[in-house]
Amino acid sequence: MPHATLPTPNLQALILCGPGISLNTFTSNPSDLPKALLPVANRPMVWYPLNWLYRTGITDITLITPPESAGPLESALATNPALTALKVRPEVLAPRHLLQTTGTGELLRLPEVQACVRGDFVVVPCDFVCEVEGTRVLQQWMTLNPLSSSTSMGQKKRKGGMAIFYPTHGLEGISTKKDESDFLATVPIAKPAVPAPAGSLREGVEEVVLNMPTDTLNDKVEEGKGFLRLRQSLMERHGRVKMRMKHRDAGVYFFPFWVKAFAARNEKFDSISEDLLGWWAKAGWQEGLGEKLGLREVLEGEAKGEEMESPEAEDEIDVTQLSSTKVSWPSSSQQPAPPFASRVGPLAPPSHSPLTIPPLLAYIQPAAESSIPLIRRVDTTPQLLTISLHLAKTQPPSLAHDSKIHPSATLEQQARVSQEDCLVGENVKLGFRSNVKESVIGANCEIGRNVRLTRCLLMEGCVVGDGVVMSGCVVGRRARVEGMKGAATEFATRAGEKKGKAPADDNEDERTKLTDCEVAPNYVVEAGTEAKGEKLMGFDTEGGEDLGMEGEDEDAED
Amino acid sequence: MAPKAKKGANAQKSKGAEEEREEPLQAVVFADSFETRFAPFTLERPRCLLPLANTPLVEYTLEFLANAGVEEVILYCGNHTDQVEEYLKHSKWTRDTAPFSLEIIRSDARSVGDAMRDLDQKQLITGDFICVYGDVVANIQMEAALAAHRTRREKNKKAIMTMVLREAGDFHRTKSQNIRPVFVVDPATERCVHYEQMRPRETPRLDIAEEVLKEHVEVEVREDLIDCGIDICTPEVLAQYTDNFDWQVPRRGFLYGVLKDYETNQLTVHTHITSEGYAARVKNLLSYDAISKDVVSRWTYPLCPDVNMLSDQLYQLQKGNVYQEDGIVLARSSVINRKSVLGKATSVGSESVISNSIIGRRCVIGKRVKIDGAYIWDDARIGDDANIKKAIIANEASVGKKCHIQAGALISYGVSIAEGTTVTGSSRITRAKRQRRQSKDQTAEGPTNPKIVGEGGAGYEMEVDEDEDDLVETLLSGDIYNMRKLSLSADSISTLDSEDEDEDLEDSSKRRSSRSESFASIGSDESGDTRRKATDFHHEAAASIVDALQKNDDVNNIQLELQALKLASNAEDKQVRRAVAVALMKRIAGLVESGMAPKDAVAKTVPPNQLLITRCVTTDKEEYSEQVEFLLYMQTDLLHRQQGDKILLFACNTLAHKDLVEAEGFEQWWEDPRSSATDELQAVRKDTKQLVDVLVGDDDDDEDEDDDSE
C-alpha cells in the first residue's frame, strides 16, 4: 500500500541507528536495547522512519548500526509485531569500525557505507517521527532539481540536496524551553512562473546558506566578542537572508549521488549536519570555497561514473527547456552583472569557468500557532515522553494504531483509562480502581490496584505496584515500581468493603510517589520512594553514582 | 481641513483618513539634501528644482505626498531658498486647489538633524508625520504603511518610526555601488533590529549582536531594499533628535543611535516593506540617470511626462516611449529613437539621430548631430555634427560644431564649448564659482579655461576637491570598464575623504571648505568607517561629559573617563578637544535655557572643570593652533544655542582669565578665516570683539578690562 503518487523514486535510504546519548537512562546497554528500539507510543523508534520511507515509496533501506547493536536490531526486525507488519525488509549493515561515538560524517566515509551507496540516497536518523508525507518533500526535491544531469545553458547542472528543518518553538505540549535548536540562514529560491498548487510544500522550500548548531553559533559569537560576523560576500550574493534561531535540523537529507564522493574526499567532516551541510551551504556563496572542498573534481570528474548513477535517465533532455511556462528572463542570481548593477569587484575574471555549486535546499516547516503536522527528532527523554503522548492523543492517520486499548488488555473492575489520550498495549493488566490519564503503557505491563498514572510512559513489561502514584515519568523496560504492600492489601480489603478513600489518605505519605522521573530498565524502585525529577538507575550502569541525585539533563552531545 | 482635493482619489483618501483621526497628516520635506552630489549644477540651482524628465524634482515629491493623503506640508529649504520659494509661489501647490497647505521654512540647518531639532523647537508638528527628501520619486501606496504604523503605535508607544522600504531584487539600476544599506528585520514584528551601511572592500563583515540572535526567533538580513528615506515619524522622533544633538542624518545618526540605545530607551523602529510600486531617490547622478530611464519607461506611472504634472506641459506619448510636446520642429531626415523626451519648441536639424535622451524646451539641435543617452536641459544649443554620449548639458549651455562630448561629462549652466572641442568623460564644466566669504548661495563667474572649453568658449573645470563624494557614484558612466577602473581608485579616494572628516578645521588652505560644507560631510550618509568611528567617539564622549557635568561629578573622574574612552576608541587629541568644547557649551547652554544668566552659567561650568581644558589644550608652548581649534569648536557649537553670542563672550572671558587660552590664541582665532566664514559665525562672535581687542591690545591687563567690556 505505498501511497506514493510518484513513480518509485529510485532512491536508497540509509537509516542511521546511532547511540541515544541523551536517552542514556534507557540505552546504557546498546547490545540489549539500542536507541532504535526504544518504544515511542508502543512501537520501536525505528518503525517511524521505516514507515515514513515506505510510504514515500522507498523500499531499498539499509539500517546502519554499530556492530554490538546489530543483533538486537535484527531480531527485533524479525519478531517485533510492529516491525514485521511493515512490508519492507530493511538490511542491517554493521560496519566493523563503526563505534557508538563515530560522527555521522565519518560514518559516510566508512568503506562499507561507501560500497553500499549506489545512487541518489536519503539519510534518515532512527529517531525521526514525521507526520508530513515523505512524498511531498520528495516531490519538491525532484521538481527543483534537473531530472538527469542535463546540459542547459551550456553548463552541466547537478542535482542539489534537500534537508528538512522543523520549528522547535510554539508547539503546545511538545515544545520545551530546552529543545535543542540549530542556527539556520536561508535565502528564498526563485519563484516559479506558475504558482505552486495549494498544499504544496513549495512555499517552505528555501536555499540554505549557513547552518550550524546553536552551540557552534555561541562559540562564534564569543569569538566575535558578542557579535556574529557575517561575511559581506553573503550579502553581496543574496539580498535577502533569513536567519532562524529556533528551528532544528531533522537529520533527513535527500542527497544526490555525488555527495558520496564529496563526503569521502573531506576527511574533516565529522557530522553530516554541521560539517557536510555547513560547508556545502557556504560553498554556494563563498568564493573559492568550493574548490577548496574539492567540489570541482567531485562535480566535474564524475562524468564517467554517470552511467552508474542513473542508468535509465540517460536521454539528455532538459525538461525545463520543453516547458512552456518557463520564465523568459534568466534567473537573477547567475546573471552576468549588467553595467550599472555590477556586483563583481575589480578582480581578474577567473581563468576557468566558475564553479556552480548545486543548491542545498531545505524544507523549512513554518511555525504556526495552529497545529501543524509533527516533525520531530526523539532524542531526549522529555521528547520521548511528549511525542509518545502526543501520538497517543492525536493518532495521525499515517501513524495510527488499530486500537487505542489493545483488545488483549485486561481491565479490572473500576479501572479507568481515559480513552482519548491513552494508549494501552497488548496483554496489559490494569488493577482494580487504577486510573490512567494521558499515558502510554507498553505491552505486558502489570499495573496494580489503585494506581494513578498521569502523563506517564511505561515501556514493555513494567510492573507497577499497588497504590503507586506517578506523573510525568518514563519507566524503562521490565522495571518494577513497588507499591506499599501492606497498605495496598489493607486498602484492597477495605476497598472490598466499599469504605471509600479514607485509608488512602492515611497512607498518603507512605505511598510510592514519582514525579517527572526516569526509571532505568530492570531497575526496582523500592516501596515508599518519593522522588521528583530524578533519574533512577542501577549502580552498574553509567552515571550510577548519580543515583537519586539530580538528573543529568544536559548530557554532552557529540 | 483639507482644501477641496483636486483629484477624486485624493478626496477619497483624505476622507477616509479623516475618519480615523482628528489631526491632519503632516509631512516634512527636506528640499536640501545637505550634500553636494549634483555639483556643479547645484551651485546655481537647488537640487529639488533640477529637471528630471523635464519636470522639476520637487514636483514628483509633492505629487507623491498628495497621493499619500497628506494635508500639511512643511518644506525645509537650505540653499537657494529664494529660487524654491519663487518656484512654488507660481506652482499649483500654493493655489486654492492644492491638496495640502504648504509652508516653506527658511532654515540655515546644515543637516537633517539640525532641521529636525529646529522643527521640534518651532513646534509645528502636532501628530505623526511623513518625512521625505525633496528628491523622492515614488508612487507606492502609503495607506497600508500608515495604517500599520498607527496600529503599532496604539499598541506600543515606543514604536517611534516606520521606514517605508521598497523590496527590489538583487539587482536594480538605482542600486548604489558603494553603499549598501543592510537592514536586519524581525519579520514577526517588522522591527528593525540592526542597521549597517556596508561598503564593498571596506567593511568585510556584518556584525550582528548576540542579543539579536538570542531575542528573536527569526530575523531577516535584507540587502535588497531600496531605502529612499520615506519615514513615518512620531513627534517622539523630534524629541530624540533634540536630546542627541550630534545626530545629523536619519540613518547613520538617528537610526543607528536609536538602535544602539534600545537597552535604555526601549524605542523601536519598524519597517514597512512593500513589493509594489516604485520608489527611488535621486541621490546622485547615477540614480538620476536610472530614474530618468524608469520615468520614461513608465515604471513610475502616474508620474510620467505624458501626465503633464506641470500645468503648462503638453506631452504626448508616441510609439516606443517617445514623448513630444507641441511645436517641435523635426527635420525630415532626423530620427528620434525609442525612449526619448522632447520639450516644446525644440528643433532638430536634418540627419540628426536622437536616442534614449531627454531634451528640454527651446533647444536647438543642429544637423547630423548624434545624441545617445544624454540629458539636455532647456535652451541648450547643440552645433552641427556634434556627437554627444551619456552626458548632462544644463540650461543655456551651448555646444559648438563638431564637438565630441564623451559619456559622463557634466556641462553646467551657460557654459559654451567652442567648435571642435572634445570634452572627456570626467569633466565637470561650469562658469559659476562658489563665493566662500559670502553667503553660500551667491556665486560669481569663474575664470574661463580655454584648454577645457576651447578657444572662445566659456567655463572652467570644477575642482574635484570641492566635491566630497566618491567619484564613482558621481560620475555618470555607463561603461562597465570605466566603472571598474574607477572603483579601483575609489579606495584611495575614500580614504582621503574619511581622513579629512575632522581635519576640516586643521587647515590646509587648498582643501579647505567652509564649515557648513564640512558639517554636511559628517552628516552625509557616505561617511566612511574611520569617519563613523570618529563620530561615534564624539557622540559618546560628549554625551558622557555632559552627563557627568550634570551630576556635578568630580572633574578628575570625568577626565579619567574621557581618557579611557579616548584610548578605547583610539581617538585623536583633536577629537577630544572637540568633545570637551561641545560638551561644555552644551552644559552651559542647558543652564542658560533653564533660566540662568549666561555669566553665571559659565562661571558655574568652566572654572570647576578647567582641568578638562588644560588637559587637551596646551598653553606652554609657543604653539596656539590647539587653542584656536578649541575656540573654533566652541564658536561653531554655539551657533544655534540660545544666547550663543553671550555665552561665547563669557566663556572667552573666563578662558582668558584662567589663562587657559592665551592672548595670541585669541588673536589667531580672530584672524582665522574659519571663524568668520559665514554670517552666522560672525554674528556669534560679534560680542566678543571687544574682549579680543582688549586682550590683543594689552594682554597683561586683561583681567581688569574684561568685566567692562561687556
Residue B203 has pLDDT above 80, yes or no: no
Report pLDDT for B175.
66
Cis peptide leading into B302, omega within 30 of 0? yes
Q: Is B574 in contact with B599 (CB distance < 8 Å)?
A: no
Indicate the pLDDT class of residue A301, thresholds 50, 70 and 90: low
Average pLDDT, stretch A121-132?
91
Report d(CA B434, CA A474) in Å as an integer. Answer: 84
A316 burial type by CB count under 10 A (0-12 exposed, 13-18 middle, 19+ buried): exposed
Q: Report which of residues B163 and B46 the model is more confident about.
A: B163
Indicate the pLDDT class of residue B177, thresholds 50, 70 and 90: low
Map residue B269 onto helix, strand or coil. Answer: strand
Average pLDDT, stretch B252-270?
88
Report pLDDT for B205.
80
DSSP A545: G
Indicate the pLDDT class of residue B534, thresholds 50, 70 and 90: low
Q: What is the pLDDT of residues A177-190, one digit of tens each?
A: 677 888 999 998 88
Residue B443 has pLDDT above 70, yes or no: no
Report pLDDT for A97.
84
CA distances from B499 to B336, B487, B492 (A): 48, 19, 11
Report d(CA A529, CA A532) in Å as an integer. Answer: 10
Report pLDDT for B475.
37
Residue B89 has pLDDT above 70, yes or no: yes
Indicate the pLDDT class of residue B372, thresholds 50, 70 and 90: very high
Nearest CA to B277 out of B377, B138, B145, B374 is that of B138
Report pLDDT for B601.
81
Report d(CA A164, CA B359) in Å as an integer. Answer: 57
Report pLDDT for A307.
39
Q: Is A358 in contact with A161 (CB distance < 8 Å)?
A: yes
Q: Is A95 in contact with A102 (CB distance < 8 Å)?
A: no
Rounded mean pLDDT of chain B?
A: 78
Report pLDDT for A181.
86
Map residue B232 onto helix, strand or coil. Answer: strand
Residue A536 has pLDDT above 50, yes or no: yes
Report d(CA A403, CA A408) in Å as an integer. Answer: 11
Rounded mean pLDDT of chain A?
A: 78
User: At A297, which helix (H) or strand (E)?
Assistant: helix A295-300
Chain B contact for A239, CB < 8 A? Answer: yes
In the numeric block, which cell numbers belong to residue A474? 518514563
Q: Report which of residues A115 and B172 the model is more confident about.
A: A115
Report d(CA A91, CA A304) in Å as an integer. Answer: 29
Report pLDDT for B486.
34
Model pTM greater than 0.80?
no
Report pLDDT for A358.
87
- Determine the residue of chain A that is closest to B484 in CA distance: A346
Report pLDDT for B231.
92
Indicate the pLDDT class of residue B626, thresholds 50, 70 and 90: confident
Q: Is A534 in contact with A546 (CB distance < 8 Å)?
A: no
Chain A contact for B203, CB < 8 A? Answer: yes
DSSP A455: S
Chain B contact for A227, CB < 8 A? Answer: yes
Indicate the pLDDT class of residue A148, thresholds 50, 70 and 90: low
For the stretch A443-448, contacts whose Cβ atoms lie closer than 8 Å and that sit 24 or more positions apart, written own/partner, are A443/A42, A443/A406, A447/A415, A448/A483, A448/A488
Q: What is the pLDDT of residues A69-88, one digit of tens each?
A: 888 889 999 988 888 888 88
Q: Report the range of poorest mean pLDDT among A238-242, B180-184, B599-603.
A: B599-603
Report pLDDT for B1.
42
Task: Write down how long chain A is.
Answer: 558
Q: What percent of chain B has pLDDT over 90?
A: 21
Q: Report which of residues B372 and B44 the model is more confident about.
A: B372
Chain A contact for B218, CB < 8 A? Answer: yes
Q: What is the pLDDT of residues B463-483, one digit of tens each?
A: 654 444 444 344 333 333 333
User: What count of other Cβ atoms lies within 10 Å of the Cβ of residue B46?
Assistant: 26
CB spacing of B173 vs A235 below 8 angstroms: no
Average pLDDT, stretch A4-15?
71
* Dihedral sign for Cα atoms in the order A541, A545, A547, A549: negative
Report chain B residues whose CB lies below 8 A from the CB of A235.
Answer: 180, 182, 198, 206, 221, 223
Report pLDDT for B364.
94
Report pLDDT for B533.
63
Report d(CA A299, CA A358) in Å as an integer. Answer: 9
Alpha helices in A15-133 (DSSP H): 24-27, 47-56, 67-79, 81-85, 104-109, 111-116
Report chain B residues whose CB lies below 8 A from the CB of A181.
Answer: none
Average pLDDT, stretch A164-168?
89
CB spacing of A239 vs B222 below 8 angstroms: yes
Chain B contact for A337, CB < 8 A? Answer: yes
- Determine the residue of chain B that is closest to A340 in CA distance: B173
Report pLDDT for A151.
44
Average pLDDT, stretch A385-410?
87
Instruction: Calculate the dihedral angle through the C-alpha atoms of B98, B104, B110, B115, rounding to the nearest 10 degrees.
Output: -80
Report d(CA B1, CA B15) in Å as an integer. Answer: 10
Residue B535 has pLDDT above 80, yes or no: no
- Determine the residue of chain B that is closest to A184 in CA distance: B218
Residue B527 has pLDDT above 50, yes or no: no
Report d(CA A63, CA B682) in Å as an integer. Answer: 87
- How far from the centroid of its chain's Cα atoms is residue A172's Cα? 19
Cβ neighbors of B41 (< 8 A, separation 6 or more) are B47, B50, B392, B394, B410, B412, B413
Indicate the pLDDT class of residue A267, thresholds 50, 70 and 90: confident
Report d(CA A470, CA B282) in Å as an integer. Answer: 71
Average pLDDT, stretch B82-94?
89
Residue B19 has pLDDT above 50, yes or no: no
Q: Report which of residues B139 and A349 the model is more confident about.
A: B139
Q: How far apart are the first and last CA of chain A?
A: 38
Domains and CATH numbers, chain B: 314-461 (2.160.10.10), 529-709 (1.25.40.180)
Report chain B residues whose CB lies below 8 A from the CB of A183.
Answer: 213
Q: Report which of residues B226 and A548 the model is more confident about.
A: B226
CA angle A168, A169, A173 (to 5 degrees): 95
- How far from the centroid of its chain's Cα atoms is residue B89's Cα? 24
Average pLDDT, stretch B161-176?
78
Q: What percent of chain B has pLDDT over 70?
A: 80
CB spacing of B223 vs A240 below 8 angstroms: yes
CB spacing of A228 vs B210 below 8 angstroms: yes
Report pLDDT for B170.
64
Residue B354 has pLDDT above 90, yes or no: yes
Residue A552 has pLDDT above 70, yes or no: no
Cβ neighbors of A348 (< 8 A, separation 6 or more) are none
CA angle A422, A427, A432 (to 5 degrees): 70
Q: What percent of chain A has pLDDT over 90?
A: 18
Chain A contact for B708, CB < 8 A? Answer: no
Task: Write down how long chain B is.
Answer: 710
Average pLDDT, stretch B526-532?
50
Residue B521 has pLDDT above 50, yes or no: no
| A212 phi/psi in degrees, rounded to 5 | -160, 155
CB spacing of A239 vs B224 below 8 angstroms: yes
